[in-house]
Amino acid sequence: MTIRFNLDDVAAMLKIPVERVRLALEELDRQGNLTAETFPFAERAWRIAPIDIKRIQSLLLEKGMISEQADAAAAKPPRRIVRVVKKPAPSND
């Protein structure tokens, strides 16, 4: 089963207003650049596949509706690696 996001989720990820995401989706839909996994739902809601989030982001960057900082914020954060050091238990001699 594919995970799908709604408009609010994508807007929060990209840190932009929901209306901009909706405009980008409608334009990409008109151009035929969305996958079949992204589709309109109800009247103005959308179900958005993860692969299409990058397309939305690219279109918004292209049109100047999103900043480069938001682009960096939407990227995955670097993975934090924690090293666990275990000390031997004290012996009871």
Nearest C-alpha neighbor of 25 from the set 76, 11, 2, 69 = 11
What is the model's pLDDT at position 27? 92
Per-residue pLDDT reduced to its tens digit, 46-85: 888 988 989 999 888 888 877 665 545 555 667 788 888 8
What is the pLDDT of the chain when averaged over all its residues?
82
Per-residue pLDDT reduced to its tens digit, 11-46: 898 888 989 999 999 999 899 988 888 888 887 888
7 has a pLDDT exceeding 60: yes
Distance of CA 11 to the CA centre of its chain: 8
What is the model's pLDDT at position 63? 84
- Say what the pTM is: 0.65
What is the model's pLDDT at position 30? 92
What are the extents of the domains in the chain? 7-74
What is the model's pLDDT at position 79? 77
40-51 burial: b if 16+ Cβ within 10 Å, else e = eeeeeebebbee
